[in-house]
A and B are shown apart, each in its own frame.
Chain A
């Protein structure tokens, strides 16, 4: 009798057990690998790959930035209202300081600020938080001395979804 046969005979009573263990092992490796693939940092980040969600955060954050970074000395109310609606957290606190200083000098200078987003790209995106890189142009016109200037800004923007609406919570000029 061959050695193979002997081994087979020894194994046969435990065959079901061995096969079961094998199936369990492969199944568990599969489950673990699937979990590993889906929980990787890349897969957790929905930026760009979820087109609809990416487009939504791009347009909402762009609109938010334009509304709070545009300003007319003769009617500052829309800007102030926009800040209430679209800013939260740290961005809100910092903006309030900026806005206060703007309110002080704007009427004397007859200042008008106009903002326009060139590019808003999403770095990271989950269901309720996002990080964006935004290129924004801002022109400022002072009617008092006919001065006009244009600036090119690069902003790192943090956003959070609160009650179904994206709000800007962080605004860092780069």
Chain B
């Protein structure tokens, strides 16, 4: 019963809306859906390929590593004798592994020593590059300009040093942390 009513209703509806069905050629009726389906398949396929491309995702990781390493290396070359504790906390925040452990062991005596030296060091990465990278580890080299102001002799101009660093980074809980930070010493006879 219900079916009959519905089909009758439908028929009536059809008559009202389309008194004469358009006589488009068969190929024209299928052309649009066919083209749309092709665009859909190709588009989704290329999307999936790009989204899962390891080279693309590794390139993003590389650039993230470079940004994190630049900030962290600057932090490690920065210390204000008036805020030694805050400075050391910042060092702890950007390191992991043995480097982190070593910094955690800096005791009261050494902190006092750093405070007494009255030096304000400010590190700036002049140039840096990622040497190697995978999803968990990376090695970065950096050219760092360290400006040291000596408040024990306030009239003196700050000294500026250029240091060459190499640093290993590890991905820990969503951030890249320094596992090592070493100067690249001159090694030529």
Contact = CB atoms under 8 A, between A and B. Distances in A.
Contacts of B56: 37-38, 40, 42-43
A72 B40 CA distance: 66
A34 B59 contact: no
A31 interface: yes
B187 A27 contact: no
B32 A42 contact: no
A27 B185 CA distance: 55
Given A19-B33, A37-B56, A137-B186, A121 B130 contact: yes
A16 interface: yes
Contact of A21 (B36, B58, B140, B164): B36
A116 B184 CA distance: 13
The majority secondary structure among interface residues of chain B is: helix
A81 interface: no
B141 A119 contact: yes
A130 B6 CA distance: 71
A122 B188 contact: no
Contacts of A45: 59, 62-63
A35 to B, nearest CB: 8
Contact of B166 (A119, A132, A154): A119
Interface string A2-43: 000000010001001101111110111111011001101111
Top 9 closest pairs, chain A to chain B, by CB: A30-B43, A27-B43, A27-B39, A121-B129, A30-B47, A23-B36, A34-B46, A27-B40, A20-B36
B55 interface: yes
A114 interface: yes
Contact of B50 (A38, A42, A114, A118): A38
Interface residues of B, number: 53
Q: How large is the interface on A (under 10, 10 to 19, 20 to 34, 35 or more residues)?
A: 35 or more
Given A27-B43, A119-B166, A133-B128, A33 B60 contact: no
Interface stretch (A46-54, A89-97, A100-108): A46-54
B50 A49 contact: no
Interface in B17-74: 17-18, 29, 32-33, 35-47, 49-51, 53, 55-56, 58-60, 62-63
A31 B129 contact: no
Contact of A137 (B32, B50, B188): B188
A120 B95 CA distance: 25
A29 B51 CA distance: 13
B184 A119 contact: yes
B13 interface: yes
23 contacts: A13-B17, A20-B32, A20-B36, A23-B39, A26-B40, A27-B36, A31-B46, A34-B47, A37-B56, A40-B56, A42-B63, A48-B130, A48-B131, A49-B55, A114-B188, A119-B131, A121-B130, A122-B129, A123-B127, A123-B128, A152-B185, A152-B186, A174-B127
